[in-house]
Structure 1
Amino acid sequence: MKTRRIGPFEVAALGLGCMNLSHAYGTPPEPAAAEALLLQALDAGITLFDTAALYGFGANESLVGRVLQAHRSRIVLCSKGGMTGQPVGAGGALQRVIDGRPASIQRDCEDSLRRLGTEVIDVYYLHRWDKSVPIEDSVGAMARLVEQGKVRALGLSEVGAATLKRAQAVHPIAALQTEYSLWTRNPEIAVLQACADSGTAFVAFSPVGRGFLCGAPLDAAAFAPKDIRRAMPRFEPAHAAANAALLPALAGLAAQAGCTPAQLALAWLLARGEHVIPIPGTTQAAHLQENLGALALTVPPAVMAALDALFAPGRISGARYNAQNEAEVDTERFAA
């Protein structure tokens, strides 16, 4: 298994994003199937497992903790706070809340530790920067978690290069996580290089474009009612049709490389720098094995160049988030 570095840890070059075992893309798998997938990933050599307090409002952390607690010494366990499910209103129903105040970060971490069944989280991320709180204050609270022995290394999610620099002035940032794939290349504006310059691992989530880069056109009308892609502009009919027009060429390039479109998308990401660690998620063992096949690929330079041109930022139709979610992140954006 090829490996890469994240803070003080050496991990397999592909991690596992655990989100969709509990959250985001419609009805999650049955518990037994989710548990089996986690153990299959472990047996296949994956060592980095990425979860968050938000996913299933704690259910994903409980799942990961229940299944992997017995194998704790074999894995690098990553979770996130600062965006959680909190009771809101008279009914007390849980709603997604971004809260980066120091006391909230302390609370979130302690809640995560309990659900994960562990005494320490290896990499703990600020899931979203709460822009009402200086990043220095939030990272300062996270640094205190390191001092308390509850966290080993710190990470940030969905921030740009300038915010990373401010955070690093408070405490070393081992990892920065944001969306990065052939159809989401915003990190190339600044933060990807900023991570390389500072020795920060760049953890790429949604590396196969939320399923788009697997090669088959996606019909948003067929998505489950609670599938988060329903609110993403790229999956609206007009944008989806424009983007689907790129898929035949992607399939042709994958055929040239002797792999599937998803494997080619992952191999392209792995080639963007030794500090890049993709974390594809899946609910299916076959897709897990397919993803791992990307590690063995050697993609011809001509195919890489053709991919760069095919998925140049200006060729992708639609924003990756709707207006509300775009306002909540701090990532750089290409000019419209």
Structure 2
Amino acid sequence: MTTTHNAPGGTARLAAHQVARVGFGAMQLPATTRENAIAVLRHAVDQGVNHIDTAEFYGEANALIRAALHPYPDGLALVSKVGAVHERELVTAQRPEQLRATVEANLASLDVESLAVVNLRRADFPPGIIAEGDQVVDLDSQLAELTALRDEGKIGGIGLSNVDADQLRSALPAGIACVQNAYNLLDRATEPVLDVCREHDIPWVPFIPLGSAFPQLPKTTEHPAVIAVANQLNATPAQVSLAWLLTGYANTLLIPGTTNPLHLDENLAAANLHLDPPTMATLDDITPA
């Protein structure tokens, strides 16, 4: 299997990889049938996607990726996340030895010797679970373990997820490959982190890009201004929301997830949606929730 199409959205550097700016998030895959999940993954790669974001705690996502794509095509960046494990429910796993064990579990379930990037999912503040007790671990200890794993060749780069600007700045000496934070048109609370990424040319990988992963969050696709722009451009509100993220920073990498092949094509097509300066100003002026 080869990636013969142009990279959706052009490319940007992610650790040692040059990846398409529109990738794919695997979190939703276990919610569909095995056959459909495999078909969606293969279609994504056939359309030029070479950055797949996953995690061992996403259930069967890694097994589905392995079934669909192994042996993996050249240039495919498999990126995973540590900091939690799924037992009877999702719980934090922040201690250094737990981070190492989770990296090893990802390597085994994906059947790879190295992961392109591993993102450390901190659990200091919402969204998601919060660390308590012995799960409250200092960032330096976690980075030391991930640095050792990088030195061993088991991970190619260290990413951070769910961090604030001070944490990112303190982590810079470790060499940060990317940052994954919640961010979208209607939720810009982590803009200060994006500013640090801009300052240091660090790839920015916003999750919840449409604001709809949690029930209490407003959906960007339902905002009147987004709908109006979409109608003007003959696009969908989701495409406008994704294009706004891509246009705002050249090192933005998107990882929208879906189990619907048509939605996948729409997400990839967002990379071709041009938002001129007046349109960007209109969207920028939306008051975040």
- Superposition TM-score, scaled by structure 1 size: 0.76
Q: Is contact 2:55–2:62 with CA below 8 Å preserved after alignment?
A: yes
Q: Is contact 1:82–1:100 with CA below 8 Å preserved after alignment?
A: yes
Q: Output the amino acid matched with 1:181.
A: N
Q: Which residue of 1 aligns with 2:40?
A: 37
Q: Is contact 1:49–1:76 with CA below 8 Å preserved after alignment?
A: yes
2-structure distance, mates of 1:18, 1:278 = 12
1:70-89 equivalent positions in 2, closer than 5 A: 70-86=71-87
1:71-220 equivalent positions in 2, closer than 5 A: 71-86=72-87, 94-129=88-123, 132-169=136-173, 171-188=174-191, 190-210=192-212
Q: Which residue of 2 aligns with 1:60?
A: 61
Q: Output the amino acid matched with 2:51.
A: L
Query: Match of 2:90, SS?
Result: strand
Deviation by residue 1:66-116 (Cα, 9 ceiling, x = unmatched): 222212423111001121113xxxxxxx22221221111111111110001
Q: Output the amino acid matched with 1:3.
A: T
Q: Output the amino acid matched with 1:179.
A: A
Q: Output the amino acid matched with 1:198.
A: H
2-structure distance, mates of 1:4, 1:41 = 18
2-structure distance, mates of 1:72, 1:155 = 23
How many residue pairs were aligned? 271
1-structure distance, mates of 2:285, 2:63 = 42
Q: Which of 245, 248, 260 pairs up with 2:224?
A: 248
2-structure distance, mates of 1:37, 1:144 = 35
Q: Which residue of 2 aligns with 1:259?
A: 235
In angstroms, what is the RMSD of aligned CA positions?
A: 1.8
Query: Match of 1:32, SS?
Result: helix
Query: Match of 2:79, SS?
Result: strand
Q: Highest Rg: 1 or 2? A: 1
Q: Is contact 2:53–2:80 with CA below 8 Å preserved after alignment?
A: yes
Deviation by residue 1:264-311 (Cα, 9 ceiling, x = unmatched): 11111001111111111111110111111111121122221111223x
Query: How many angstroms does 1:11 deviate by?
Result: 0.4
Deviation by residue 1:219-266 (Cα, 9 ceiling, x = unmatched): xxxxxxxxx73xx4236xxxx8xx88x633322111222311111111
Q: Which residue of 1 aligns with 2:265?
A: 289
Query: Match of 1:302, SS?
Result: helix
Deviation by residue 1:196-234 (Cα, 9 ceiling, x = unmatched): 212211111221222xxxxxxxxxxxxxxxxx73xx423
Q: Which of 275, 279, 289 pairs up with 1:303?
A: 279
Q: Which residue of 2 aligns with 1:5?
A: 13
Q: Once superposed, which parts of structure 1, at least 4 consecutive aligned residues long, lie more than 4 Å away?
A: none
2-structure distance, mates of 1:271, 1:101 = 37
Which stretches in structure 1 are left out of the alignment for 5+ residues? Answer: 23-27, 87-93, 211-227, 317-336
Which stretches in structure 2 are left out of the alignment for 5+ residues? Answer: 1-6, 124-130
Query: Match of 2:248, SS?
Result: coil
Q: Which residue of 2 aligns with 1:233?
A: 216
Q: Output the amino acid matched with 1:47.
A: N
Q: Output the amino acid matched with 1:275.
A: N
Query: Match of 1:97, SS?
Result: strand
